[in-house]
């Protein structure tokens, strides 16, 4: 399974989603490839936000080896599933899709825990206290997803 996690900046939410899913895959002996990207280009090459690094570290996950990159059309070929964090990411990614096969790969990550509710992972960039909630939402969603494969 090849999974891509996508948010806006690729520094707050999707690096956490990548770290969490990777950790769960390893713990369950699954050889999955998990990566992340942002729809925007502002933070390309940067480390994850220090607040994401800190909350991940507190939960026993090291995400400090990650570097931000921008989502590219070729990612539709490279990945089986593209999990987007919010409905804006969803429309931005879908706009780059060339066919139905591409479109079918794109899913809101919180559809795992709240199917059909079109719930977004809140953007914690301007909210120092939002990172714990983001971590928990992503941890639950990744657990639900991986349960189908273990
Ligand atoms: P992310 O959070 O999409 O979860 O990485 C953001 C990071 C940066 C910005 C917005 C959201 N920004 O406006 O620079």
Q: Are 53 and 47 in contact (CB under 8 A)?
A: yes
| The total number of structural domains that make up the chain | 1
Q: Are 48 and 63 in contact (CB under 8 A)?
A: yes
Helix/strand/coil for 36? strand
pLDDT band at 15 (very low <50, low <70, confident <90, very high): very high
Domain of 91, CATH number, reads 3.40.50.2300
Question: What is the distance of C-alpha 68 from the center of its chain?
Answer: 12
Task: Provide the b/e sequence for 109-148 (b: ≥16 CB within 10 Å).
Answer: bbbbbeeeeebbbebbbeeeebbeebbebbbebbeebbee
Q: Which atom of ligand 1 is closest in space to residue 134's alpha carbon? A: 4
Give 103-142 pLDDT, tens digit per residue.
Answer: 999 999 999 999 999 999 999 999 999 999 999 999 999 9
Is 9 near ligand 1, meaning CB less than 6 Å away? yes
pLDDT band at 4 (very low <50, low <70, confident <90, very high): very high
Testing ligand 1's pocket by substitution, the residue of 9, 53, 120 carrying the most ligand atoms inside 8 A of its CB is 9
Q: State pTM to two decimals.
A: 0.98
Give 38-50 pLDDT, tens digit per residue.
Answer: 999 999 999 999 9
Q: Whose CA is nearest to atom 13 of ligand 1?
A: 9
**Catalytic amino acids?**
7, 13, 123
Give 20-40 pLDDT, tens digit per residue.
Answer: 999 999 999 999 999 999 999
Domain that holds residue 104: 2-147
17, exposed or middle or buried, with CB in 10 Å at 0-12, 13-18, 19+? buried
């Amino acid at each position: 399974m090849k999974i891509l996690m996508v948010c806006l900046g690729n520094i707050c939410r999707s690096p956490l989603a990548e770290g969490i899913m990777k950790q769960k895959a390893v713990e369950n002996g699954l050889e999955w490839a998990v990566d992340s990207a942002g729809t925007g280009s502002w933070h390309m090459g940067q480390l994850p936000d220090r607040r994401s690094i800190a909350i991940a570290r507190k939960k026993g996950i090291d995400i400090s080896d990650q570097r931000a990159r921008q989502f590219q059309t070729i990612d539709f070929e490279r990945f089986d599933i593209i999990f987007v964090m919010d409905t804006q990411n969803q429309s931005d990614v879908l706009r780059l899709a060339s066919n139905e096969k591409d479109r079918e790969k794109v899913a809101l990550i919180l559809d795992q825990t709240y199917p059909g509710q079109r719930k977004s992972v809140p953007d914690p960039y301007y909210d120092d206290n939002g990172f714990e909630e983001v971590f928990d939402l992503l941890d639950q969603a990744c657990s639900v997803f991986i349960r189908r494969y273990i």
